[in-house]
C-alpha cells in the first residue's frame, strides 16, 4: 500500500507538470476517481494537545464496522488503493480489528493507523492487529520536554517511542513518524531525524499554520527567521526519510507567500469520512453527505465544483498536505 501511495503522488505531480488537471482543463480531462480514504474512527482522545480541540468535544460517536461495510458496497469505490484510520485517538475504538477487516475484505489492503502512541492499552491493541500488518503512524512533536508539553501529558513521549518499537517488532511494514512543524519546534527536526534513523522509519511532515482544524484553532505566526531556520533544517534531511518530499520541500515557500506550486487533488481522488459517516472532500471543508450517498452526489455539490477549480484553498489546508491524507 505504501509504495502504491507514493506512485499515486508521483503520477499526480507528473500530471501537474504536464498541464493536466489545470484550472482550464475540460470536464473530459477530469479524473474523478476515488483512490484514497481517510476515515475517523472516533472523536475521543486520551491526550490534551495544544494544536487540536478534538479532545474537548467529548463526542462518544464511534465508527460502526457494519455500517462502514454497507456504505462501501457500491462499485463507485472499487478503485480505492489506500485507506487510513485516524481520530480522536484511533486505538480507543473498541472494535478496531473489525474495522481493519472491513477494509481488507472490501479492497484487499491493510489500512494505515494514525496514533499518538499513548496508553497502556496499546500492546493489546497491536497484538490484535497482527493479521493486518498495518502501517502505524505515530505522532511525535520533538524531544521529551517539547512533546510532553505539546501533548498535554507527562509520559506521552516515552509511550510514543515504545509504540514505535512495538510496531517495528510486530509488523513487517516499518512504522512512520508524523511531525507537525511549528515556529517554535523547527529545531526539533534534527531530533525527529535521529528517531527516524533509530527506529528505521520515515517522516510524514506538515506545517502548523493559523486556521481551524476540526473545531480547534491554531494561531501560528511564521517569521522570515523561522522559515529560514526551517529551510536549513530541511537541507539536512535526505528525501529518503520523507514520505512526500515534493510537498515538504515546498513548505517554506508556502509559508512565505501563501501559495503552492502543486494543485490539491482532494476533489478528484480523496474522501474524508467522519465517525457518523458524514463525508467531506478534505479535512478543511464541511461534510457534504453520508458515505453511502457519495456515488450519487459525487462532483455535483458546489464545494466539489469549487475544489475542482482550485477556489477553496485555505492556509489550514497545509496542516494535512495537498492530498489531505499526508499522514499515509
Q: What is the C-alpha separation between 13 and 17, in angstroms, rounded?
A: 6
- pLDDT by residue for the chain (328 residues), tens only, comes to 444 444 443 344 333 333 332 223 333 335 568 899 999 999 999 999 877 777 777 788 999 999 999 999 999 999 999 999 999 999 999 999 999 999 999 999 999 999 999 999 999 999 999 999 999 999 999 999 999 999 999 999 999 999 999 999 999 999 999 998 989 999 999 999 999 999 999 999 888 765 555 555 566 788 999 999 999 999 999 999 998 888 888 889 888 887 766 666 777 788 999 999 999 887 777 888 999 999 998 878 787 777 777 666 665 555 444 333 344 4
**Residue ranges per structural domain of the chain:** 2-6+30-319
May I ask the CATH class of domain 2-6+30-319? alpha beta
Q: Cα 213 vs. chain centroid, distance in angstroms?
A: 12
Task: State how far the Cα of 54 lies from the Cα of 228, in Å rounded to an integer.
Answer: 31
Please answer whether residues 218 and 208 qualify as being in contact, where contact means their C-beta atoms are separated by less than 8 angstroms.
Answer: yes
Angle of helix 156-170 versus helix 144-151 axis, rounded to 10: 100
> Is there a contact between 168 and 195 (Cβ–Cβ < 8 Å)?
no
Distance CA 34, CA 80 (A): 6
Place of cell 463525508: 279
Burial class (CB in 10 A: 0-12, 13-18, 19+), 168: middle
* 241 vs 197: CA distance, rounded Å: 9
Amino acid at each position: 500500500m505504501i509504495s502504491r501511495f507514493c506512485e499515486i503522488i508521483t503520477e499526480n505531480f507528473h500530471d501537474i507538470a504536464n498541464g493536466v488537471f489545470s484550472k482550464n482543463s475540460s470536464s473530459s480531462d477530469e479524473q474523478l476517481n476515488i483512490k484514497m480514504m481517510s476515515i475517523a474512527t472516533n472523536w475521543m482522545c486520551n491526550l490534551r494537545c495544544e494544536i487540536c480541540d478534538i479532545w474537548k468535544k467529548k463526542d462518544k460517536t464511534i465508527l460502526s464496522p457494519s455500517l462502514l461495510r454497507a456504505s462501501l458496497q457500491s462499485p463507485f469505490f472499487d478503485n480505492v488503493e489506500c485507506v487510513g484510520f485516524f481520530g480522536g485517538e484511533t486505538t480507543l475504538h473498541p472494535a478496531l480489528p473489525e474495522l481493519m477487516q472491513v477494509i481488507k475484505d472490501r479492497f484487499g489492503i491493510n489500512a494505515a493507523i494514525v496514533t499518538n502512541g499513548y496508553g497502556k492499552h496499546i500492546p493489546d491493541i497491536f497484538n490484535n492487529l497482527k493479521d493486518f500488518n498495518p502501517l502505524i503512524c505515530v505522532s511525535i512533536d520533538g524531544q521529551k520536554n517539547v512533546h510532553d508539553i505539546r501533548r498535554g501529558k507527562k509520559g506521552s513521549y516515552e509511550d510514543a517511542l515504545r509504540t514505535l518499537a512495538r510496531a517495528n517488532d510486530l509488523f513487517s511494514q516499518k512504522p512512520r513518524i508524523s511531525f507537525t512543524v511549528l515556529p517554535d519546534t523547527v529545531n526539533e527536526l534534527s531530533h525527529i531525524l535521529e528517531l527516524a534513523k533509530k527506529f528505521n522509519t520515515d517522516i510524514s511532515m506538515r506545517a502548523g499554520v493559523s486556521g481551524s482544524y476540526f473545531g480547534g484553532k491554531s494561531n501560528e505566526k511564521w517569521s522570515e527567521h523561522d522559515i529560514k531556520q526551517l529551510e536549513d533544517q530541511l537541507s539536512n534531511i535526505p528525501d529518503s526519510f520523507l514520505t512526500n518530499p515534493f510537498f515538504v520541500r515546498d513548505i517554506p515557500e508556502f509559508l512565505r507567500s501563501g501559495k503552492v506550486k502543486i494543485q490539491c487533488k482532494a476533489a478528484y481522488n480523496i474522501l474524508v469520512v467522519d465517525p457518523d459517516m458524514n463525508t467531506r472532500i478534505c479535512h478543511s471543508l464541511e461534510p457534504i453527505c453520508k458515505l453511502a450517498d457519495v456515488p450519487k452526489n459525487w462532483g455535483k455539490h458546489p464545494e466539489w465544483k469549487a475544489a475542482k477549480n482550485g477556489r477553496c484553498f485555505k492556509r489550514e489546508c497545509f496542516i494535512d498536505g495537498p492530498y489531505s491524507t499526508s499522514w499515509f
